[in-house]
Amino acid sequence: MSSRYNHKIVEKKWQNFWSDKKTFYSKIDKSKKKFYVLEMFPYPSGKIHMGHVRNYTLGDVISRYKIMKGYNVLHPMGWDAFGLPAENAALNEKRNPKDWTYKNIKTMKSQLLKMGLSLDWTKEVTTCHPDYYKHEQKFFIDMFKSGLAYKKEAEVNWDPIDKTVLANEQVIDGRGWRSGALVEKKKLSQWFLKISKYSEELLEDLNKLKDWPNKVKIMQSNWIGKSVGAEIEFNISNQNKKIKVFSTRPDTIFGATFIAISIDHKLSKELLIKNRDLSVFISKCEKQDSDKVKIGFNTGLQVDHPLIKNKKIPVFVANFILSEYGLGAVFGCPAHDQRDLDFAKQYNLEIIPVVKPHNFNDSEFKVNDKAYVEDGVLINSEFLNGLKIKEAKDKIISYLEKCKIGSKKTNYKLRDWGISRQRFWGCPIPIIYREDGEVLTVDEKDLPVKLPEIENFNKNSITLDNVSGWKDTICKNTGMKARRETDTFDTFFESSWYYFRYCSARSNKPFEQEDINYWLPVDQYIGGIEHAILHLLYSRFFTKALRDLGYFKINEPFKGLFTQGMVTHQTFKNNKDEWIEPNEVERIGSRYIDKKNNDVKVGKIEKMSKSKKNVVDPNDIIEKYGADTARWFMLSDSPPERDLEWTETGIISSYKFINKVWDFVNLYNSYNILEINKDEKIINDLKLKINQVADNIEKFQFNKSVAKIYEYVNLLNESILKKTLSKESFKWSLEKLSQILQPFTPHLSEELWEALGNKNACIKETWPEQNINELEVNYNIAIQINGKTRDILVTKELFEKEIVVELASNKDKIKRYIEDKKIIKIIYVPGKILNLVI
């Protein structure tokens, strides 16, 4: 046996072992409890980065731990393979995005294999493969037929030089990323999914997600943005027309002093025809969209206040009214809404307070620069006067309903999901437009609609639309000419159902009932917080939509969610204010210098990014120190949900730890203490640590598990130095160490396990849970005088109060404090503290 630990040989050996023995291949086994652990699948951008390493290490700890706890674990991996970078690379390198993508997948897969992850690669899924995307084309057809998918006009970013639609990330400071042209807004007919139909369910079911971070649930809840209010009709004076508005504050209706409608409200469009000034105003609004200055256009129209006789209020078209929310029209109550107040002051509109704070007299209360939005009492509001806001709301709504001029109404911010992308490297939308104007879905037997295989990418943009010949087709039923839809799906479409596909990855059907019923939902999903809203909300929606289309009966896809922190690193700048890489920086004392001996500015600790040049390549780290070292470092110190700062000293100390553990083998081989009489205490203490490691894994606090393993190792080391451990117990301790290390540093674990003479793999062992009732626990009772700890009493049992007081009083130190003083009060918390108040 080699006495030195060679991570390259050892890690390769066990990776081959797991692969040869198919250790992590999963099959349905109804005799076991299942556990589905999943990390968010990667986009194959080229090579893995530290964020991936952290993500997959966290998942692997859970996976291996659950395996050892006897669960039947599913832990798959795949590729989110459609997307813009492949198109960019295609243009830059003049090659097919498919080749580029598959090349990256190959590279990244080999890197993942080197991490020693417990993945089931037989379930690998690649979303750009027709065998994957044909199923989502079918989903889309079902959605179309059931009315969940529909077409409507929507704005896109248009590059007038490259004559292409740009994704948001291709617009930099309002200009096209390649051409530099000013980007224009253009309206196109595009596909949408009716996620808004599920607003209430998506909101309501958040309550069921007990194992999700609160933060994420709050973010989704805000995004869905439910608000309850009323719709109210205003008659336009002297006309037989109405304007309907939505308000969450119908209680302030008596303070309404104007009506504001959006620039593309139906009424605005009507007025526009005859009013040139209005059209000038509207085009002005369209240009300065991000501007927060509120401007309005007085239409000259007035409406009758529905509750105050003979009161007329003006109608404005205003830039701050959203056309997509509510009814695109509001009544303005300047006294109780800051936006309305800003607007009213600018156009000299009336400000009538209708709610006053509780501690004011009616006549004293005035609104000046700040709208009053707190709770209070209604004033100037006829029959609402004296009521609190909540009461006034209820009363006014029932009044409006009685008079048939309004009704209670719930609104949601959540808007339908626009899934059309005018791109090339995405899943084609299976629709054809026949020459007579009919919109038809592609026949199921003709799926998949495959992407064209083209080699020539010498243009400035690639989209399906400009691939010659691809879109021309015929309607098979009629023989009429037809044109294919050239939009592709948003790539969130693929990631909305991949976790279902994993469990039936090679099936001809999208998934098998039996697999879904057994494996879903995902028990533990792990990924970055950046997906808190879109990906996770779309996936939840997709699950509910597929359920309603009859695919299965699952309501929620992810039972448990964990959002990990980022991997960060120190940044550096040289004397020309350029970012420089950490490996070009040297530290001498408190000074940092570059290779030319110039001073280097130490910047903030930031997320690793190429632009700031503070990236550490996992490949280099694994090569140099090994996967176990990288994994151990990822798990040490930083709690998984917080940011982790990558440091050179940190990785080195992890490396030292790996080697230190291995050195125990050498120590063991030359160890010759045979007597076992001094063992009991140390074994007892080690057993306590083993359980603490598991407790912390269960709580997702791996940094604390790591600390407990250090304590285990320190205890072991100490007793070996003191020779209080027998050889037999030494062996036992190392075997247990192998087992508790398995989730964290699996290669080291197996190597150590084997070196101790074991034939079967350590991953096949049961987690060494200790029966806590058989373990001896020492109680350290803090003896306090007036709440200050003065001494520690160590006992082996939980004694009665009287006994502890007696034991404590006999201690010299305590005696000195008590002396002749009288003990007024005794507080005893069994096993923890004894407080004597004198």
* Terminal C-alpha separation, the chain: 65
- Per-residue binding string, RNA, 689-728, x by CB under 7 A, is ------------x-xx-xx--xx--x--xx--x-------
Least spacing, CB of residue 833 vs RNA, in Å: 4
Residue with tokens 């059907």: 509
Q: Are 356 and 362 in contact (CB under 8 A)?
A: yes
Least spacing, CB of residue 268 vs RNA, in Å: 12
Least spacing, CB of residue 590 vs RNA, in Å: 11
Token digits for 818? 């008590």
CA distances from 141 to 193, 472, 755 (A): 12, 20, 58
The answer to the question of residue 832 lying near RNA (CB under 7 A) is yes
* Identity of the residue, 350 or 643, whose beta carbon is nearer to RNA in the bound complex: 643
* Identity of the residue, 106 or 215, whose beta carbon is nearer to RNA in the bound complex: 215
Burial of 282 (0-12, 13-18, 19+ CB in 10 A): buried
* Identity of the residue, 433 or 579, whose beta carbon is nearer to RNA in the bound complex: 579
Near RNA by CB under 7 A: residue from 582, 790, 795, 811? 790
CA distances from 628 to 55, 59, 684, 749, 816 (A): 15, 15, 28, 10, 54
User: In this chain, which stretch among 90-98, 123-131, 218-226, 545-553 interacts with RNA, using CB under 7 A?
Assistant: 218-226
* Identity of the residue, 136 or 251, whose beta carbon is nearer to RNA in the bound complex: 251
Using CB under 7 A, which residues numbered 427 to 486 contact RNA?
none
CA distances from 527 to 159, 531, 597 (A): 34, 8, 41
- Per-residue binding string, RNA, 296-325, x by CB under 7 A, is -----------------------xxxxx-x
* Identity of the residue, 601 or 832, whose beta carbon is nearer to RNA in the bound complex: 832
Least spacing, CB of residue 532 vs RNA, in Å: 7
Least spacing, CB of residue 4 vs RNA, in Å: 11
What type of residue is 397? I
What type of residue is 67? I
* Identity of the residue, 309 or 591, whose beta carbon is nearer to RNA in the bound complex: 591
Q: How far apart are CA 724 and CA 140, in angstroms?
A: 69
* Identity of the residue, 649 or 773, whose beta carbon is nearer to RNA in the bound complex: 649
Q: Are 357 and 376 in contact (CB under 8 A)?
A: yes
Using CB under 7 A, which residues numbered 362 to 421 contact RNA?
411, 413
Which of 200, 160, 154, 208 lies closest to 181, judged by CA?
160
Omega within 30 of 0 (cis) for the link into 521: yes
User: In this chain, which stretch among 51-59, 64-72, 102-110, 292-300 interacts with RNA, using CB under 7 A?
Assistant: 292-300
* Identity of the residue, 323 or 758, whose beta carbon is nearer to RNA in the bound complex: 323
The answer to the question of residue 569 lying near RNA (CB under 7 A) is no
Least spacing, CB of residue 374 vs RNA, in Å: 10
Residue ranges in 429-491 assigned as alpha helix (H): none
Near RNA by CB under 7 A: residue from 154, 440, 529, 554? 529
Using CB under 7 A, which residues numbered 651 to 690 contact RNA?
652-653, 656, 659-660, 663
Using CB under 7 A, which residues numbered 617 to 646 contact RNA?
636-639, 642-643, 645
CA distances from 431 to 137, 427, 467, 659 (A): 9, 12, 17, 60
Residue with tokens 């598991």: 694
Using CB under 7 A, which residues numbered 76 to 105 contact RNA?
none
Least spacing, CB of residue 729 vs RNA, in Å: 18
Least spacing, CB of residue 411 vs RNA, in Å: 6
Near RNA by CB under 7 A: residue from 146, 238, 338, 507? 338
Q: How far apart are CA 322 and CA 450, in angstroms?
A: 39
Q: Are 332 and 257 in contact (CB under 8 A)?
A: yes
Using CB under 7 A, which residues numbered 231 to 250 contact RNA?
246-249
* Identity of the residue, 72 or 319, whose beta carbon is nearer to RNA in the bound complex: 319
Pairing of strands 472-474, 586-588: unpaired
Near RNA by CB under 7 A: residue from 229, 426, 618, 626? 229
Q: How far apart are CA 765 and CA 742, in angstroms?
A: 10
* Identity of the residue, 130 or 225, whose beta carbon is nearer to RNA in the bound complex: 225
The answer to the question of residue 807 lying near RNA (CB under 7 A) is no
Least spacing, CB of residue 98 vs RNA, in Å: 32
Least spacing, CB of residue 779 vs RNA, in Å: 8
Token digits for 837? 């108040």
* Identity of the residue, 20 or 289, whose beta carbon is nearer to RNA in the bound complex: 289
The answer to the question of residue 504 lying near RNA (CB under 7 A) is no
Least spacing, CB of residue 659 vs RNA, in Å: 7
Least spacing, CB of residue 413 vs RNA, in Å: 3
The answer to the question of residue 787 lying near RNA (CB under 7 A) is yes
* Identity of the residue, 85 or 639, whose beta carbon is nearer to RNA in the bound complex: 639
Q: How many residues bind RNA (CB under 7 A)?
A: 77
Q: How many CA atoms lie within 13 A of 201 on its CB side?
A: 14
The answer to the question of residue 326 lying near RNA (CB under 7 A) is yes
Q: Are 389 and 355 in contact (CB under 8 A)?
A: yes
Which of 656, 639, 754 lies closest to 704, judged by CA?
639
* Identity of the residue, 14 or 538, whose beta carbon is nearer to RNA in the bound complex: 538
Omega within 30 of 0 (cis) for the link into 42: no
CA distances from 273 to 15, 276, 286, 387, 770 (A): 73, 8, 17, 45, 82
* Identity of the residue, 363 or 649, whose beta carbon is nearer to RNA in the bound complex: 649
Q: Are 658 and 704 in contact (CB under 8 A)?
A: no
Token digits for 130? 């027709």
* Identity of the residue, 236 or 533, whose beta carbon is nearer to RNA in the bound complex: 533
Near RNA by CB under 7 A: residue from 314, 328, 430, 448? 328
Near RNA by CB under 7 A: residue from 650, 671, 678, 724? 650
* Identity of the residue, 37 or 661, whose beta carbon is nearer to RNA in the bound complex: 661
Least spacing, CB of residue 365 vs RNA, in Å: 20
Near RNA by CB under 7 A: residue from 69, 194, 339, 408? 339
Least spacing, CB of residue 672 vs RNA, in Å: 19
* Identity of the residue, 249 or 736, whose beta carbon is nearer to RNA in the bound complex: 249
Which of 42, 108, 109, 50 lies closest to 79, judged by CA?
42
Torsion of CA 163, 167, 173, 175, to 10 degrees: 0
The answer to the question of residue 772 lying near RNA (CB under 7 A) is no
Near RNA by CB under 7 A: residue from 28, 171, 181, 219? 219
The answer to the question of residue 827 lying near RNA (CB under 7 A) is yes
Q: How far apart are CA 78 and CA 131, in angstroms?
A: 14
Token digits for 181? 């042209």
Torsion of CA 335, 339, 342, 348, to 10 degrees: -60
What 824-833 contacts at long range (C-beta under 8 Å, 24+ apart), as own/partner pairs, is: 826/801, 828/801, 828/804, 830/798, 831/779, 831/781, 831/798, 832/779, 832/781, 832/782, 833/781, 833/782, 833/783, 833/784, 833/789
Using CB under 7 A, which residues numbered 252 to 291 contact RNA?
262, 291
Q: 150: which strand partners?
A: 192
* Identity of the residue, 356 or 708, whose beta carbon is nearer to RNA in the bound complex: 708
Least spacing, CB of residue 772 vs RNA, in Å: 12
The answer to the question of residue 330 lying near RNA (CB under 7 A) is yes
CA distances from 405 to 234, 309, 384 (A): 8, 15, 17
The answer to the question of residue 813 lying near RNA (CB under 7 A) is yes
The answer to the question of residue 161 lying near RNA (CB under 7 A) is no
